[in-house]
Amino acid sequence: MNAASYTSKLAYDTSRRRERTILRWTLLNLFPNSRIWSRLLGFVSFGTGLGITTFLITASCALVPSIIFSKYIMRWPSAFNRPQLNDTDAVKKNTSTTEVGSLTALKTFAARSQMALQSSGGPDCLAPILVGHVSLVGPNIPGSYIYTHIYLFLSRCHYYLTGRIFVDQLTEFCLKKLTKLGEIACLQARTCRLDDVVDTFACENKDNDYNVVILGAGYDTRCYRLSSIMGKKNVHLYEVDARGTQRIKRKALKDSAIQSDHVEFVHCDFENEDWLVSLQTQSTFNKEFPTVFVWEGVTMYLDLQVVYSTISKIAICGDRSCIAFDYMFHESMNDAARKSAERIGEPWKCTIDYNEMDNVVAECQKLVADNKSLLKVLDHLDKSEMKRRYLAQYNDGSYIGYLEEFGAFCLIGT
């Protein structure tokens, strides 16, 4: 696969879009040459709106009774009765594999929805539809759907006022020490990147049968929105995920009337089961076909050995198979960030540095049984390349969102 063949999906003129916004135009006229006012106003309106609605709707009349209801009466699965993990358990367990499902998958999905709605630049056009059928704070909490939509609506208002993404701005201004990850733009870049990998693979294999396998799919919508792989007889689509997350996703697909008959769903716990065996036993997967594996936002939740073993498996699939994934740098897993991931029941475990990728490939190669297929890095993007390709930039050099040296993206193939 050739890096030069990728195309940015964000090649739109953000400045013109921004200038067209009536609200922003008014602000600029009121406070000429002073963008700080419009930003400040965006923050204030967002903060006030979110504060008031959170208090009125969520805390006072929805969440408190629903916590009591779900915890003591119905014992429903929810974000609030997630299994309590003590420090030692936390490094072992991941609640994605339980009935509760993955909360981080909801977060990344909501971020994609935000990007698709607010700047029209986000690639995940189905996320806003699907997001209407899940709740961002966990399933089955009455009131949380309203909260979800108010939150998304206010984020949009903020975008129209400031031309920036609220969560990213907040991270850039206040949380730089805690995290290098602005949660929205970074995920946007990641989704664009992996879409490009699938589109390119589809183009290169259009005359033969091939597989697209989404590993740790969460609320990934590629199989339902990428025209390069949909409705084609030679394309075989699979989603592999933890049982809990997959159950909620399939229900959301059904509720939002998104056609999913063309996709085969396979459940598996990556840490305790062999996903290739699950794929072969639960679906029609044929490993002789070239296969593109998309592994978005998953490596950090797995042991390094599981990461090695997953990458090595592409060597036994058809010629020209490849796996595209993102990973976190060692430095990004500071104590505060690690603890916060543990608290929600999805602890971070695996980090890799950019210059360690050759060693990773060598370790994976050792696991390839016949050693016939040679694994190689086909593409490896760092922050600056990701920004250049996928983040909209204003004329003053600033970006629509925040993306720092958090991790990188790699494409390994045979």
Ligand X SMILES: C[S@@+](CC[C@H](N)C(=O)[O-])C[C@H]1O[C@@H](n2cnc3c(N)ncnc32)[C@H](O)[C@@H]1O
Of the candidates 296, 375, 390, 392, which one interacts with ligand X according to CB under 6 A? 296
Dist. CA 352–CA 340, nearest whole Å: 20
> Is residue 218 at the binding interface for ligand X, with CB under 6 A as the rule?
yes
Rounded Cα distance between 261 and 255, Å, is 14
Q: Between residue 254 and residue 283, which ones bind ligand X under the rule CB under 6 A?
A: 268-271
Closest of 152, 116, 154 to residue 134, by C-alpha: 152
How far apart are CB 281 and ligand X at their closest, in Å?
16
Closest alpha carbon to 266 in 306, 215, 324, 190 = 215
Could you tell me which stretch among 46-54, 60-68, 73-81, 214-222 binds ligand X (CB under 6 A)?
214-222
* Listed ranges 292-300, 332-340, 365-373, 375-383: which one lies at the site for ligand X (CB under 6 A): 292-300
Size of the site for ligand X (CB under 6 A): 24
In the bound state with ligand X, the residue whose beta carbon lies nearer, of 63 and 196, is 196
User: Is 298 an interacting residue with respect to ligand X (CB under 6 A)?
Assistant: yes
Residue closer to ligand X by CB (options 268, 360) is: 268
Q: Which residue lies nearest ligand X, judged by its C-beta? A: 218
Spell out the residues 6+ positions from residue 49 whose beta carbon is closer than 8 angstroms to its own.
150, 154, 157
| C-beta atoms surrounding 60 within 10 Å | 12
* Closer residue to ligand X in complex, CB, 193/389: 193
Alpha-helix residue ranges (DSSP H) falling in 98-182: 103-118, 127-131, 144-162, 166-174
Binding residues among 355-414 for ligand X as defined by CB under 6 A = none
- Please, which of residues 64-103 interact with ligand X by CB under 6 A? 94, 96-97, 102
Are 15 and 149 a contacting pair, CB within 8 Å? no
Q: What is the bridge-based pairing of β-strands 322-328 and 407-413? A: antiparallel
Candidates 50, 150, 242, 341; binder of ligand X (CB under 6 A) is: 242
CB of 40 to ligand X, least distance (A): 32
Tell me the three state secondary structure of residue 180: coil
Other residues' Cβ atoms within 10 Å of the Cβ of residue 188: 32
By CB under 6 A, is residue 297 in contact with ligand X? yes
CB of 181 to ligand X, least distance (A): 12
**Kind and range of the H or E element at 41?**
helix 35-53
Residue 332 binds to ligand X (criterion: CB under 6 A):
no
Confirm if 134 and 149 have CB atoms less than 8 A apart.
no
Closest to ligand X by CB, 94 or 321: 94
When the beta carbons of 50 and 408 are compared against ligand X, the nearer one is 408
Strand partners, 328: 407
Q: Which of 301, 325, 329, 348 binds ligand X (CB under 6 A)?
A: 301
Q: Is 147 in the site for ligand X (CB under 6 A)?
A: no
If binding is defined by CB under 6 A, does position 328 make contact with ligand X? no
Q: Indicate the residue among 27 and 117 with the shorter CB distance to ligand X.
A: 117
Minimum distance of ligand X from residue 136's CB (angstroms): 13
Interface of this chain with ligand X, residues 98 to 127, rule: CB under 6 A: 102, 104-105, 108-109
The string of DSSP codes covering 251-306 is HHHHHTT---TTEEEEE--TTTS-HHHHHHHHS---TTS-EEEEE-S-GGGS-HHH
CA–CA distance, 223 with 317 (Å, rounded to integer): 20
Is residue 217 near ligand X by the rule CB under 6 A?
Answer: yes
Binding site for ligand X (CB under 6 A): 94, 96-97, 102, 104-105, 108-109, 216-220, 241-242, 245, 268-271, 296-298, 301
